[in-house]
Amino acid sequence: MANNSQINLNLTQYLEVEKIGLGAFFPIMGFMNETEFKSVVNEFCLPSGDIFTLPIVLDVDEKLANEIDIGSTVELLYMGSVVAHLIPNDFYNCDRSLVAKAIFGTDDPNHPGVKHFISLKPVFVGGLVKLLKRIDTGIWHDKLTPADTQTIFRENKWRRMVGFQTRNVPHRAHEYLQKIALEFADGLFIQPLIGQRRSGDFTPEAILTGYETLINGFFPKDRVILGTLSTFMRFAGPREAIFHAIIRRNYGCTHFIVGRDHAGVGGWYGEYDAHRLANKFEGKLGITILCLSGPYFCEICDSLVTEKTCPHSGTDAVKLINGSDMRQILGDGSFPNPKLMRHEVIESLNNIKLFMDE
């Protein structure tokens, strides 16, 4: 039955298939073969020279791999439905520990990205993907596809569109970065990443409700687009910042904000490592990366600032705004200082489940 084999996808794999099919990972049109994989891991680019910083792989068991012929048409199923066709062109594996070190800078399995990567099934299947059908997984469904946003931006004649990546209910540091972008851009595309499911993460409902409240009350609504991106967090720090930028380029953005410790976790990356990598690729991505610092509220400046605009860091006047702290305060049910998070946003979350269970 080699000519009619099937692969059942888990949610993470389905979302990868969907993103490939929607063009979100362009120029990636399928799962990477070994040549592409090695080039991306070791050279930060595809064999064509196009910058690409994270591998896109489909992992299968050895037994299944042995049943599949190169060049055949494989059906990819999710929840019992055929969602895509795959034409396999390569089967390979890699030294998981070595590759993890290259991607994440560590092979420590306490790093959640490493943990995910080393636990993938043993064989990677490369090959072109043709998306046939999207599954509406409810809140997981992408609100806007790359084709949708490109159309919106074009029809509005927006020349400068800034993309913003987030996994949080918005606090005022996020708002500050977004408003800086809006000062010189035509529009802002806020696209929370909602494909992760780690315990303690904000729920998609909380993130989207928070943003809707903020945008409706405090933003020029007609120039802010709220979408979602369903894909899993890889916690690859600098490499993932570039990956996130490439995705937003594919959605039609001309600029992308990379802040402090983008796609970081714990203390695995330096605060501005992502900026250094972004500077290295300047002019090669088809999107301009705005390297912005981490905002805080300064009582002396009497405004939201960053270390790039305020000389008072390290004093009592400085009120740090940190996603993790906000998460804890919201979990406690206490009200943060309105300089740090808007009450209207918090109140709008009253009847909404805030955090993911495992």
Minimum Å gap between C-beta 282 and a second copy is 9
303: contact with a second copy by CB under 8 A: yes
Please list the active-site residues: 166-168
Span 119-158, contacts to a second copy by CB under 8 A: none
Number of chain residues interacting with a second copy (CB under 8 A): 29
Q: Is 301 in the site for a second copy (CB under 8 A)?
A: yes
Structural contact between residues 76 and 17, judged by C-beta atoms closer than 8 angstroms: yes
CB of 343 to a second copy, least distance (A): 11
Q: How many angstroms separate the CA atoms of 329 and 340, rounded?
A: 11
Closer residue to a second copy (CB): 137 or 293: 293
Distance of closest approach, residue 214 Cβ to a second copy, in angstroms: 11
For a second copy, the closer of residues 21 and 336 by Cβ is 336
Q: Quick check: 310 and 301 in contact, CB under 8 A?
A: yes
- Name which of residues 171 to 230 contact a second copy (CB under 8 A): 179-180, 182-184, 217-221, 223
Closer residue to a second copy, CB minimum distance, 152 or 310: 310
What are residue 277's phi and psi, to 5 degrees? -65, -40
Q: Shortest approach of a second copy to residue 192 CB, angstroms?
A: 20
| Residues in Cβ contact with 62 at an 8 Å cutoff, skipping those fewer than 6 apart | 122, 123
23: closest CA among 165, 190, 164, 148? 148
Under a CB-based contact definition with an 8 Å cutoff, are residues 56 and 20 in contact?
yes
Q: Does 315 bind a second copy (CB under 8 A)?
A: no
Site for a second copy in 277-296 (CB under 8 A): 290-293
CA dihedral 263, 268, 273, 277 (to 10 degrees): -70
Residue whose tokens read 């979350």: 349
Nearest to 33 by CA among 56, 61, 66: 56
Pick the closer one to a second copy by CB: 131 or 301. Answer: 301
Contact residues toward a second copy (CB under 8 A) are: 179-180, 182-184, 217-221, 223, 290-293, 300-311, 338-339
